[in-house]
Amino acid sequence: MTGVSLRLDQTRWREHLQTVLGATPGLVPVAKGNGYGYGLRRLAEESAALGVDTIAVGTADEVAAVRDVFPGDIVVLTPWRPDNVLATELASDPRIITTVSRLEDLAALATDANPPRVLVEVLTSMRRHGIPAEDLAQVVSLLGKVQFEGWTIHLPLLAAGRYVEAERLARTALQASAGPLWLSHLPPEEAMALARQLGGANGDPVPFRLRVGTRLWLGDERTRSTTATVLDVHRIKRGERAGYRQRVVPADGWIIVVAGGTSHGIGLEAPTSASNVRQRVIAFATGSLEAAGLALSPYTVNGSKRWFLEPPHMQSSLLFLPRKETPPLVGDELPVELRLTTATVDHIVTE
Ligand SMILES: *Cc1c(COP(=O)(O)O)cnc(C)c1O
């Protein structure tokens, strides 16, 4: 199978998913974008197998990819806007929970004859979407005209100040109206502490849901490996040229043509910054390939990451391998390091 492949150890992956499920009360799996490398449909299937009652997708467009596979409720994380026709249509669907982040949008949805299920988003230090804490009291008069499902609080990834912020915002929201807290990026222990701290006089914790994507789907690296096929190998001498840019090759060696390029989300590393001039000088003095202006690639040959001869092409890339190395054979699979939230693979192989 030529191309970029993701091998998934399904047994181990499912063990990991079960572990996260067991450690995360009120888990709401997040299945959005490229499906964390696995695709939305597969994540919806796994969520159904986990037995959770709700999943979250990123946009209204993504609902179609999961709704036939996952039987429960579906939260749309991107806040509803009046010009989104599909989101408006979905808002009246009994399985859809719509996120609202502005007072005027809540007012617009509140006029719906068929009251939508809504989560009201509170603005956090992320400053992405949400109603500012000081305006939450104005939400109250509108909540009776929708099916209020709770407050959503999306925190930044930074741990410092996270709990204090969650507590301040959740307290303000709950003072405006009681309802479940839908939290993102708060660890389960902190969410449980928060729920108890803000719980009612009867000692019951506030009900809460925890939305998790990366930690659930990608949290255990041992469950997967990614490889790319060697498509061609050519011998080359120092001073000869190769590639789109006809770059002069810095030493004798091999050009390895390997599957994977920009269409797979494989890009160059950030170029060396000016602050790194000293390192560059050292690299030059030692005659390293970095001094020749090459960038380190995510591909491994013979146990080491290798240099791109030039920026990746659409579907393949050129690597340089020094003469003293044994080159791989056409058809060999090379390990390639992919960031799965931005990658698109050609094949997913489950074993
Ligand atoms: C994407 C998203 C998540 C999941 O984030 P991960 O870091 O992948 O766990 C949770 N909550 C909201 C609101 C999101 O948009």
31-217 homologous superfamily: Alanine racemase (3.20.20.10)
Whether 194 shows a pLDDT value over 60: the answer reads yes
Q: Which amino acid is at 61?
A: D
Report pLDDT for 245.
87
CA–CA gap between residue 196 and residue 212 (Å, rounded): 21
Question: From the CA of 163, how far away is ligand 1's center (Å)?
Answer: 17
How many Å lie between the centroid of ligand 1 and the Cα of residue 129? Answer: 13
Residue-wise pLDDT for 94-103, tens only, equals 999 999 999 9
Q: How many CB atoms within 10 Å of residue 150? A: 22
The pLDDT of residue 273: 42
Q: Is the pLDDT of residue 247 over 60?
A: yes
Helix (H, G, I), strand (E, B) or coil at 327: coil
Here the tokens at position 67 are 């709704």
- Cβ–ligand 1 contact at 101 (below 6 Å): no
CATH of the domain spanning 222-350 = 2.40.37.10
Q: Looking at 20-24, 153-157, 214-218, which range is the least confident one?
A: 153-157
Annotate 99-130 with b (16+ C-beta within 10 A) or e (fewer).
bbbbbebbebbbeeeebbbbbbbbbbeeeebb
What would the mean pLDDT of 326-337 be, rounded to a whole number?
97
Which pLDDT does position 1 carry in this prediction? 86
Name the residue of 20, 27, 28, 30 whose CB sits within 8 Å of the most ligand 1 atoms, as the mutation to test its pocket: 30
Domain range summary for the chain, segments of one domain joined by +: 31-217, 222-350
pTM for the model stands at 0.90
**Ligand 1: does its nearest atom lie under 6 Å from the Cβ of 30?**
yes
Q: Is the CB of 213 under 6 A from ligand 1?
A: yes
Mean pLDDT of 172-177: 97
Specify the residue with its C-alpha closest to ligand 1, atom 4: 213
pLDDT at residue 185 above 60? Answer: yes
Span from the CA of 102 to the centroid of ligand 1 (angstroms): 20
Q: Cα–Cα distance between 266 and 269 in angstroms, integer?
A: 9
For residues 317-345, average pLDDT: 95
Residue 154 near ligand 1, beta carbon < 6 Å: yes
Q: How far apart are CA 119 and CA 97, in angstroms?
A: 7
Query: What digits encode the pLDDT tens for the residues 59-94?
Result: 999 999 999 999 999 999 999 999 999 999 999 999
| pLDDT, averaged across the chain | 93
b/e sequence 267-304, b meaning 16+ C-beta within 10 Å = ebeeeeeeeeeeebeebeeeeebbebebbebbbebeee
Determine the average pLDDT of the residues in 259-272.
78
- Cα separation, 297 vs 319, in Å, equals 8
CA–centroid distance, residue 149 to ligand 1 (Å): 18
pLDDT of residue 345: 96
Distance 30 CA to ligand 1 centre (A): 6
Q: Which pairing describes strands 316-322 and 96-100: parallel, antiparallel, or unpaired?
A: unpaired
User: What spacing in Å lies between the alpha carbon of 184 and ligand 1's midpoint?
Assistant: 6
